[in-house]
Structure 1
């Protein structure tokens, strides 16, 4: 990692171990600077290495960074839209991972601090999302627009990302979030969250997968309520991607998927290729309370793409709002 403040402790060599057999590839590997791996999964708040999209980063100055990433040709959850385009939400997840990486590796936020996603916006260029014969290799240009500190401690970050694929614009996004120390987080959250009995509400039945552009019921995050364009959020903490690790609230990416599925349902159920998403997160969504999702199709011009407003409510308050702009795939 070039000019990075992050360091990984190397294992001690002062140990009694059996010598390894000489490798015929050692010389070649030593001179190959093109070897690729992911960044440490802990830096992007993922438990599974397979869910890490970022592969490297370079600090240019205090507010500018270059990163690289890779999107697989296929993914168990971020499935290609109609088998043709990379799922735009994999771009959102990639950009989200940048924030936690920079917070920990470049701005000194300790592990154990909590992150509160505040805003996320994404636009994509469909012609640059087409799935090719190899994984998509991406260059990410990041500019930190607002760095909030209290003393020497980072308390908030807003950054803009440009995603390039072979030098062409594939996506762009903007994210802002807050960083909260464990002590402050404890004061902000309801006391019941830290009790032994706290946990998710019973798992509710999914709507028909094809009605929200999905093929597997396991990937559906909406449950029917009997009212049109109104659902209960389906919270399956066993889902290996949406709940990659244990949390005490509903992750922002689950709410983002709810927005996509709500927009898909109101526009007829055919898989959508979202062109843009503007999402504002108002507060944490707790696991032990029902979260209700509403979708409203907004008026549009004759040649304009479809726009859907999706909102989430819990305990009578707004959890998030999202505007999804999309065209039916195909």
Structure 2
């Protein structure tokens, strides 16, 4: 499992989302529709620039409409093949949708932990083209298997369709659990809360072009000397992957590791993922080496997309498992 946590750096850490948002949305209603991002705290981002969602509306008890925007250029979610929005920006957008709903619609207080258990994503490449303006998106979100203890949300699964000008651009499903701070502390090793808790030493990156990257700073794999096996490269200074302080490796880092491992196995300078199927089974700790293995799976028929199975292990125990389905680079 991987947790997604955000803590305020202001005294209002215990505010509910409703109380924090009321003045802003009241002003928006007075002045008509305003296009802006939702508050960053609701989507567990520290930087406003990393917020993809712009608005939301409740359509039913478990049915919601949202809007989002993808920039033409991004410091990390860089264009694929020079002409497509990065499919992982779709995964991040869908992740943000779940955090927003948990806080703003289901009453989860800030400071609770979100444990992502499953993520699936499919994209339609023809709808990912980068145009002359940022991509304006509509999200249709349905919450299923909503779990509560009394009135408190303890977890759910939600399904999202991302529409671009009315046409499906991506679809995804995420399941997560919500854990109160006191329970989370009992679940985690005591060392992660100590002042001396430090990530492992930063290891050397693979050549960026071998994993579809331009900058060594964006590479999350390090060589081990074994073919198709790498060590996860944990750079807690990365401004996007480690947007705020955490005590574990974020899920988006593991997704990026899967994408880079698939790219390396397929031997191309870039791949366009068509689909991801991910299971998170254990926290990836910052202070222990995490080994990433990739296996190119056989095709069922000539001309089928490539499929790569990527797994991560720490101390001999599985951390995550991802199947990456890709389209060949043009």
TM-score (normalizing by structure 2): 0.91
Contact kept? 1:118, 1:282, Cα under 8 Å: yes
Taking only aligned residues, the RMSD between alpha carbons, in angstroms, comes to 1.4
Aligned to 2:326: 326
Offset of 1:92 from its aligned partner?
0.1
Greater RCO, 1 or 2 (C-alpha within 8 Å, sep 6+):
2
Deviations 1:123-174 (A, max 9, x none): 0000000000000000000000110111111111100000000000100000
Aligned to 1:10: 23
Aligned to 1:23: none
Offset of 1:32 from its aligned partner?
6.3
1:145-156 equivalence runs, <5 A? 145-156=144-155
CA distance in 2, matches of 1:6, 1:274: 37
Q: Which has the larger radius of gyration?
A: 1
Offset of 1:33 from its aligned partner?
3.1
Offset of 1:255 from its aligned partner?
0.1
Count, aligned residues: 309
Asked whether 1:311 is paired with 2:324, we answer no
CA distance in 1, matches of 2:135, 2:88: 15
Offset of 1:83 from its aligned partner?
1.4
Structure 2 SS opposite 1:6: helix
Structure 1 SS opposite 2:200: coil
Contact kept? 1:125, 1:275, Cα under 8 Å: yes
Contact kept? 1:270, 1:328, Cα under 8 Å: no
Contact kept? 1:39, 1:56, Cα under 8 Å: yes
Offset of 1:10 from its aligned partner?
3.4
1:86-105 equivalence runs, <5 A? 86-105=85-104
1:9-48 equivalence runs, <5 A? 9-10=22-23, 33-48=32-47
Deviations 1:166-218 (A, max 9, x none): 00010000000110000110110011111111120000000000110101000
TM-score (normalizing by structure 1): 0.91
For structure 1, the residue ranges without an aligned partner over 5 or more in a row are 12-28
The runs of 4+ residues in structure 1 deviating greater than 4 Å are 29-32
1:273-288 equivalence runs, <5 A? 273-288=272-287
